[in-house]
Structure 1
Amino acid sequence: MKKMLFMGLALLLAALPALADNTITHGSDLFQTAGDGTTYAEVSVPAGYFCTGSSAYSGTITMGGVPVATSPANVLGNTDTIIERLSDTTFNASNVATVNAIVRVANFKSTSPITVTGCSGSSLWDVTSSAAPTQSSFAMTIYRSGSTATGGTFDSTVTINPRLTFTQQGTGGLTRTLDQSTITFSTSGASWTHQTGSGGLTYTSGSVQVDTDGNGVPDTNVPATSNFAAGWTNVPQSGCAATPCPVPVPHSTITARHQTKPPLPPCTTTTTTQATTQSAAKRHGKLATIARCYAISNTFTSGN
């Protein structure tokens, strides 16, 4: 009789919905950036910047994310953007919470080289972008529909000071670094939940060291993820079997756009093999599922 009672209690507890947290705790928000043309920046540099006699450059550079180097290695999958919420925040009676945040990592590379004339050597230059050493905090406003809600929306005005690095292709190519003025991105009505859904990436083993300047060497500690999963929604989505589901989080301004979504976790040896097998099956016309992990590799290769 006692055994049946305990079994019944266990089944009842398993059937209960996830509980809402009244406090969003300090932590890191993780994003990946697609190189599909939805992330770009307008860049203008004067004549003579790249070398004596170089032409001026003005154009829109399409960027894609480059996975951030970490210590421990590869624990953040294909994350290329990290925003740290700087403190805990508690929902008020109107179910609104505010918190300051700061960009820690914004690691991108041009999806194709730009062309600069007037310098000896190659006219093709690769462009990378990282967060400059000095960044300013900005406010996030988090909303939920009621005290029992396990997700909602958030607004923010993200400020970032980008550092662009131009690298001439070829042996002995030149390198130029340009710190841009502050860019302010607006995000409105983006989705969040307390927990990620199937295939979501979290890191809860304390702080992790990350590469903030794009040189491939981890240099700064950021906190673990917490009970705020940006880019996830409890609203059912096409192609998502069960909520929470991943959804895009766009950051927009007049001269730039940053389209992000939740990152994939790193693959284990088993899942990497599975993803490769699925890809091969698809090429042969067989049914294949979408890979739910990320095999660490260089997202883009230069023409060197």
Structure 2
Amino acid sequence: MKPRRFEFHSPQSIEDALKLASDFDDDFIFYAGGTEAIIGMKERVIEAGHVLNLKKIPRLNQIQMQDGSLHIGALVTHQEIADSEIVKRVLSGYADLSHNIANIRVRSAGTLAGNLCFAEPNADPPALLAALNARVVLIGRQGKRDVPVREFFDGPYSTVREEAEFMTEIVVPLGAEECRCAYRKVVYLNRPSAGVACVRNLVDGTPVWESWAGSITGLPERLNNVCAVLNERDAVSEFDVMQAAARDMAGLDVLEGVYGSESYRKHLVAVLAVRSAMECVK
């Protein structure tokens, strides 16, 4: 199927992009990497008379450390994150996650911002970004606002981003003395059937843990019982983590699909919770 006819625009600044968005009312989409948008337009799931290409806007393709946080621009691709010496140095676990997203075509074209805005329920980045307490920066007609990744999604293919807003960057705070993170997943058809992210921050000499599951409900889900077990113990107990993850999964409704049965995917979360936690203490 071919997409509806559309006009392609390449604004040269954030102000130009917002002006065009205002001119075209709701008959437009923002375009960054395009890996999801192009497919959606061809299938007529996404229809727009105007495509606003953000790739010409300066400084949206940068990765940098600033004020103790990692800043990833909206146009940075997954492969650029995987290859970034900055990311490898400060968050090697996130570089590993990016290196293993889907396939080389998706990693080379797809952007982190596009991935988050599309809100595909079986995606890798949201769980780890939630565990890291990252935030996204959105800009629109009403100005700029920061939204924690933990609050950004409100369902499969749905976020709190307004129609005329676009993401300018993702910010990951790195204030701890030491931060170790890991993400482990089981994949089917290039997408995760389940994934678990674990973060171990050292704060005043004390480990503070976060464990989040992805690709289960359509939202990043905090594994509260796993976090409690990890924060209460001096050493990681594989048995206790698996039991805690099972309790966390008991009350969740797993999305249906081709990625495995509900019981199988809940079991995967328990196994992956252990693997990601163990990776953080290697």
**TM-score relative to the length of structure 2:** 0.23
Structure richer in strand, relative to its length: 1
Report which of the two structures shows the higher radius of gyration computed on alpha carbons: 1
Structure holding more helix per residue: 2
